[in-house]
Structure 1
Amino acid sequence: MNRRILSAIAAGVLAVLGAVLLVSYVNNADSRAMANMDPIEVLVVSALIPQGTPSDEIAESVTTQRLPRAAVGPDAVRSLAEVSGRVAATDLQPGEQLLGGRFVTLQSLERFGGIPVPEGYHSVTISLSAPQIVGGTITPGDTVGVFITVGDGTTRLILRKILVTRVQGGLGATQPNEGVENPDAAPVPDGGAMITMALTTDQSLTVVHAAKFSNIWLSLEDATVPQDGTPKVDMRNFS
């Protein structure tokens, strides 16, 4: 083997060795740089997660990635256990970090989004205080009775079995905290709410007029509530 061939072989070996050393240096540099960025492992969406998907059904749609702490969003999810029992509040797109704030209880999602309005019905919204809506506990899907009190002091039940399709507001996040006198007490209503109901044309006219000129109270109706008559009471009943 002549000297020229030996030189070519040596040059090739040196080139390969140089490439290996360069790759190793770059990888180590990346590792050192990442270490200096205080990386943490977070969950990242790898496939579309539709709104309303329960957290216990998204394991195959997320992956774990190490990201610099400075690049991690607020309330980043590191384990699906952190959002257990909740559902996606909106569509989650591939590539975005999984954030706890994007998960809510199913009830919260229903309260915001509501339920479909039956065909042929109007959607009518009225604003009421918490005591007028059973302490803020009315939710979409409930059926309510509609009571009104007019200027002459007469109160009557004007509508029954009215379907509630959407609630905005109502029972808020004011919950009994640890250390209070009765931690098992019911949550405290956080202000009033806007209640949307499915109504026929005649019922819509009645509710809109009552909202403008009367006081309205809603009741949650049990399935066994009698449906006969439209009872009323006025000041004479108390004299």
Structure 2
Amino acid sequence: MKSRLVAGAAALVAAILGVVLVISYANGADARAQAGMQPTDVLVVTKAIPQGTPAANISGSVQLKSLPASAVAPTALHSLDGMSGKVVAAAMQPGEQVLSDHLADPSTLTAPGSVAVPAGLQQVSFTVNADRAVGGKLQAGDTVGIFLSFDHGALPSGGPESTALVYHSVLITSVQGVTQPIDNAKPATGTITLTVAVNDVEATKIVFAAQFGTIWLSKEQANLPQTTPSPIDRSKVYQ
């Protein structure tokens, strides 16, 4: 009899504990759900932002938006404080949360086989045969001299054919499209597309020459004296 009473009491205690645990778990679940629903302000993209955009320039394309805490990414930003000097690492679309990993140091965006563009310059590309680009033996980071040639001269009145060394120490930022033979002593074949860092005036002249003339390149060594030879035409080529 006594043992049955003890067993019954134990069962009752176990049942009570079970009820308490169920209630406690339910209350905890409610608390967790409520915590997950707490509104949190995060930056959300409102206008498409291109890759490379400075962080300082994106404030007009993002806004603070309240989202449930459970929907906020761990690295979501609540402001742009501390992001000065960084740029957008990958294009962002409307509706995206702005994450800390979306903003990076500009140097990290440099693609393999290319070099960063110096501040204040722009990039322009042109394609030439490999024999006009030191046999195709150029790579990103090299500096080159740029020669512009025209079949009928570069004067309004026309005139004889002419060639001029127009620019020194132009930085190559990337090189594409050349086929280099296994035997490095042999010249490369095909065409080579070069991208260079120049200012707006230089870019304009390069585009003009690529369209209406021809471009040749020389690979320049460091500390090369930068003379400015006069343009050459048929009247001067033998002088």
TM-score calculated relative to the size of structure 2: 0.47
TM-score calculated relative to the size of structure 1: 0.47
More helix as a share of residues: 1
